[in-house]
Each structure stands twice: as C-alpha cells, then as structure tokens.
Amino acid sequence: MTEVEYESRGVPLEDYQLTRRDHRNQKQIEAPNRWGEERAKEARAREQADPEITRRKHEAFRQAWELLQKFKKPEHEIMRWRVRLYCGHITETRRHREVATPTTHSPYSMRCPECEKDPSMIVAYEPIGLAAEPPPPPPKAAPPPPPPTRNPTRAQLERRIAALEEENRHLRSQEAAEDQDF
C-alpha cells in the first residue's frame, strides 16, 4: 500500500469562516441538483402509474447493491475524516486510504445528517484515522526441509566403484601414453 500524506484544511473546523469560493462552489452544485430533483419527481410519477416499473427498478437496485458488496473495501483501507459542511455542521465521512483529502474525488459534497441540506459542500476537513487497524502481516513460512538423504544401496555403491575404477584405468592409460611421447 502506498504511503499518503493526509492534508487538513480550515482547522480548527469550529472556527472556519466561509469564503467567496465556498459560496460560489455551493451554488454550482445546487443547480444540477435542482434539475435532478425535477427529473426524479417525474420518474416517481411514472412509477406510481405503473407498478411493473417499480418492481423492475427495485430488482435492478438489489442486483446493483449485491454487486457493490462484492467490491466493498475492508475497513483497514478506509480513512475517516472530520469535515465541516457548507451548512456549518461538523460530521464525519469516509474515503479510501489512498486519497489525501476527502474532496480529491467525488463526492465533495454530502447530505448533512443534522439539517439534511443536500448537497452541502465539504469546506474544511481533517483526517481522524483509519476505520480499523490493518491486519498483522502473515507469518513468514518456514523454508522447506531438505529432502531426506537415503543411504545408497549395495548395488548402487558397486556400480559407482566400477565407474570410478574404469575412469581411473582410462586416466592411467592416457598418462602412460603422454609419458611415451616425451
């Protein structure tokens, strides 16, 4: 796992003052939300008119949820963040541990659990810590034991002696031939 240097912004969160940029960013995310809410109202009206649409939608959500659960990150890979929202409330959110700030990737806003303002931009933050301790590394496996040594049989020893005697005779004959050449 890569080491990440976590950042803080607007600490202490209780004293953070909203900036012009915070107000501008909040307005930018509210506009698409209003459009989305209108589309959601229209979709709910269609669902109420046709129960089959509702059934198919619920089945699709169930399948999507099951798929998401297969890819859920373990708790030791999740960093907890204390965040101040645009609405002024301070709450906690979670991101993958490899993300240096809770606003690096979406969602950089969230529904406030206290006043339910949705969306409410994350304007200040500080890391709290991992959601769980990493598991201990697996113990190192002991090296495999050496293969057991077996004493050679009498027949193996006799074959080896015969081979060595033959090699010895061959070397002596070569040595004798070299001596005659001089």
pLDDT in tens, 32-85: 877 888 888 888 888 888 888 888 888 998 999 888 888 888 899 999 999 999
Measured between alpha carbons, how far is 164 from 168 in angstroms, rounded to an integer? 6
How high is the pLDDT of residue 181? 64
Domain span including residue 122? 13-130
Summary mean pLDDT of the chain: 89
For residues 88-112, average pLDDT: 90
Which carries the bigger pLDDT value, residue 24 or residue 108? 24
Quick check: is 96 in a domain?
Answer: yes
Let me know: does 14 contact 90? Beta carbons within 8 Å.
Answer: yes
Helix, strand, or coil (residue 77): helix
Confidence at residue 14, expressed as pLDDT on a 0 to 100 scale: 93
Asked whether residue 31 is assigned to any structural domain, the reply reads yes
Is the model's pLDDT at 172 over the cut of 70?
A: yes
pLDDT score of 182: 58
Residue 176 is assigned to a structural domain of this protein: no
Pairing relation of β-strands 78-85 and 109-110?
Answer: unpaired
Of 22 and 69, which is predicted with more confidence?
22
Provide the domain count of the chain: 1
Question: CB–CB of 77/97 below 8 Å?
Answer: yes
The tokens for 112 are 């406030």
Q: Is residue 77 part of a domain?
A: yes
Q: Does a structural domain hold residue 163?
A: no
